[in-house]
A and B are shown apart, each in its own frame.
Chain A
């Protein structure tokens, strides 16, 4: 029905500047980590192929391209997302406090058919820092937040140490795949125009 391969899943990664969104993506796809932080420039989206059960799935993971810095992500960024990954830094309370904003902003902009069942996932990143001693958000607090949002899955990660990154993204892919089915139904409800019965004669009228 469509040229777009239905196993292509759009995943967007949201969260405050500096929580490690780009690092997580780089670690997952390129197995690389850069100690040096610079606000994201040059990151667009990365893709990775995965085998889930008997399906080959292409994850297309979209970075914010720095447009989150002044909460200036446009609606186009959110459109057609199959899953939304929220990231916060376990060492920075504010990045946890703003999760509500990102969650609400996603639902407002992406406008999914059923906001209550749309798949989110939460990653608490940078658990390696200072051996966990500078941590200000407890695992329990994060899990409580997830429970309050309809039991969204939670992973604690370290992009630097490559801890839990693969597991988190595998869960993301599975969640997105489950949601993708629903999206298909939505698109199928849209009536297609009557098919062209006749072959168009040639391309050029001249």
Chain B
């Protein structure tokens, strides 16, 4: 690295008082930075890393390896040096620790001297892999609206994902019957099944058209109120849809995580009304942009472009950016116990009304001894971070696509499709070189699934990988279910793979807030909702990205076709 690695060599940050200090440049933090800057708040945005994106970064293979390895150490408070001296007359100084979100990291690279190893070595910087993958945007979801509303879209280019597939035990990777044309073309559906599916879609369409429409004209049918409140899976049964279609609707289109037919394992039983909403979002995404064939979009150069676009938006509105700058302590008022500011690794103290922290930050527990009457309950929330769950993630690099003639595709492996005990959906996303994330002739594949513990997560992800790929041989590959399929001998081999577990934590709000971790979803809706909510709690009077009318905001570009919209490379 040619730029000074050493943050201590930076000039002091000026000014020292801000409305808001944000630590970490993940997607939620970056959205909040842009939103707060847009309404005139003074914002300082810091990141201890030398790159943008935190847990949403897109990195080279070497960077990803070293990031995962250095952020997955077992937590011990001894990882930090001696406690910061309590030398501040007005404040109690509380050390901040970084609690790793990642564990069980396994990275396997072809280390032989063959052609594959050479390709990786010579192109290591041409790979740009997402830390929080698989992720994509639905063409009609709120992330697109936010990108446009915030102005971040002008820095981004997208490409449509060519195919959305679902894994079926007896057929392999099947195209989703997600449009009329797709249903007609689908050779795996019988005429009866096609009719059932068409009737179902027609009912949903009529329901949506009549939703909010009070007068019941004879034409339009609505789904009964009692059905809307019932589980979607029961409603699909009631509609007598065959198991295969039911599975595709639930897991590949409504994107449900847990097995809806198994009450013991299901943590997210989907109601019919929510299922209908997700179907509606999916179908309005298909064909929203003429040059995106399916429902999904992916940013050129990877997911990490998204937080950077929001950060640039914030910078244009005056937000100050300092990378490579760790925050080492919080400054709390000696009397009230309220948050006052932060201490940087450079030793400088900076103050703000509000603080948003990357979800990996925590404080030592038990708390160090404070002055006798110091009200330390305000700090408890940071030390007692709820872990909501785990996401197992896998990344593979291959030299051929898992589906002939398709470069970019999403895949869902519904519960029980790979092996009987599979309780959750596994999602995969294959991205090819036309998205500028890998050299020509190579592919990056992402896998993820929710899990209760690391071994289960690893078993799930490996089963999905083994269905279509051959992993490099490692010493211990026992007890991984191998799914047989007819193309056994032509399965692409994996040049490089990474596996890791990521904790999902809750975001909380007070004058110190912590932003959400990447979740197990394919899209960004829940994360962006959380960011908007956090913004609303901090600034209840302010609008989340108000429409700008001032002339200096409109970039003086002429008849550019991407103005006020999303740029799609075809």
Contacts and interface: CB of A to CB of B under 8 A. Distances in A.
A128 to B, nearest CB: 26
22 contacts: A3-B562, A3-B569, A4-B567, A44-B555, A67-B311, A67-B312, A70-B325, A71-B3, A71-B324, A76-B52, A76-B304, A101-B3, A108-B2, A191-B407, A191-B434, A193-B406, A201-B181, A201-B182, A203-B284, A204-B283, A204-B286, A204-B287
In the A-B complex, the 9 residue pairs with the smallest Cβ-Cβ separation, listed nearest first, are A201-B181, A203-B287, A206-B205, A76-B308, A65-B315, A193-B407, A104-B2, A72-B321, A72-B323
A196 B557 CA distance: 33
Contacts of A192: 407, 434
Contacts of B141: none
B373 to A, nearest CB: 39
A206 B201 contact: yes
Contact of A67 (B51, B279, B321, B406): B321
Interface in A132-165: none
Contact of B558 (A47, A70, A75, A79): A47
Interface string A186-205: 00011111101011111111
B202 interface: yes
A169 to B, nearest CB: 16
Interface in B422-451: 432-434, 436, 440-441
Given A70-B10, A76-B52, 18 more contacts: A3-B291, A29-B556, A41-B316, A42-B318, A42-B552, A60-B557, A70-B320, A71-B3, A72-B324, A74-B52, A76-B308, A191-B440, A193-B434, A200-B293, A201-B182, A205-B179, A205-B201, A206-B279
A42 B178 CA distance: 43
A118 to B, nearest CB: 15
Contacts of A111: 125-126
Contacts of B513: none
A36 B164 CA distance: 55
Nearest to A43: B316
A71 B552 CA distance: 26
Contact of A202 (B155, B180, B204, B311): B180
Contacts of B407: 191-193
Contacts of A75: 51-52, 304, 308
B162 interface: yes
Nearest to A191: B440
Given A76-B305, A196-B293, A3 B555 contact: no
B162 to A, nearest CB: 5
B309 interface: yes
Contacts of B555: 44-47
B204 A206 contact: yes
B322 interface: yes
| Residue picked from A43, A58, A204, A206, most chain B C-beta under 10 Å | A206
